[in-house]
Structure 1
Amino acid sequence: MYFGYRALIIETDSQLATQLVKNRMDPLHPYAALLTAIRRKISQDWVVSLVHVYREGNRVADWLSKHSLVYPFGMHELDSPPPELLPLLQDDQRGSTTLRNIVVNSTAPSL
């Protein structure tokens, strides 16, 4: 249990990260130590769901991934959200979303 929560939904915009955490891995994988730490954390006494969401569907995950480069490689736990993240968290709580941009092949025949 973390911060008193008994259930946690982890949303990530990286489908590869989701698969790496959920599936078996080669113990020689370059991220084996990090993946083991993540699995250990999510297997504690709580219910954790790890789901893939598109970047536009969760701007909080997008912001965190972009700003993660300031930290050294490894797992980091934040005691509270960075102040710059608060407006995005409030938007997420209200259910605000953004449109997903899709590139359309302009050479395809039109119907």
Structure 2
Amino acid sequence: MVQWCKPPSCWFILNTDGSRCHADNHATAKGCALLVVEMDVAVVVHFLRNSMLSSHPCYTLVRDCLEIIEGGWIIEIRHVYREGNRCADCLAMLAHDAANGLSICPEPPDELLTLISICPELAF
């Protein structure tokens, strides 16, 4: 069964859900240094976990990601099926629909609350 798993104590989870954002260090500035990075693209997980030849077409992008990852974080990178984190999928869809691709929500959006009410195991 595919389902979301709560992170270990003192850890945070970043689920990219196929999305991307600019590296502006908001997380480390707020004290988030223990991070589980989840994504639904297995090949990207493979690229980030394994060495890559500089001739590979994705080398520069992967190198840039690794430079961010190595900048003061303790990180675990893992693959998760989209169905394994439906909340992240919901939030990513809302962000993609936003005017500038970014939404800052002081409260959970209604769509997310609806999802959690249908599937209470998604909340912790």
Deviation at 1:63, TM superposition (A): 5.5
List aligned pairs for 1:75-94, cutoff 5 A.
82-83=103-104, 86-87=108-109, 88=112, 91=116
How far off its partner does 1:2 sit? 1.4
Judge conservation of contact 1:11–1:50 (CA < 8 Å) in 2.
yes
TM-score (norm 1): 0.57
Q: Percent identity?
A: 28
What does the per-residue CA deviation read over 1:16-64, in whole Å, with 9 as the maximum and x for residues that have no partner? 1100111111211111111001101111222011111111012315764
Q: Which has the larger radius of gyration?
A: 1
Distance 2:58 2:90 in 1: 21
Q: Which residue in 1 is equivalent to 2:75?
A: 48
Q: 1:2 aligns with which of 28, 41, 57?
A: 28
**Gap change, CA 1:62 and 1:32, over 3 Å in 2:** farther
Which residues in structure 2 correspond to 1:16-35 (within 5 Å)? 16-35=43-62
Q: Which runs of 5+ in 2 are unaligned?
A: 1-26
Q: Which runs of 5+ in 1 are unaligned?
A: 72-77, 98-111
RMSD value, Cα: 3.5
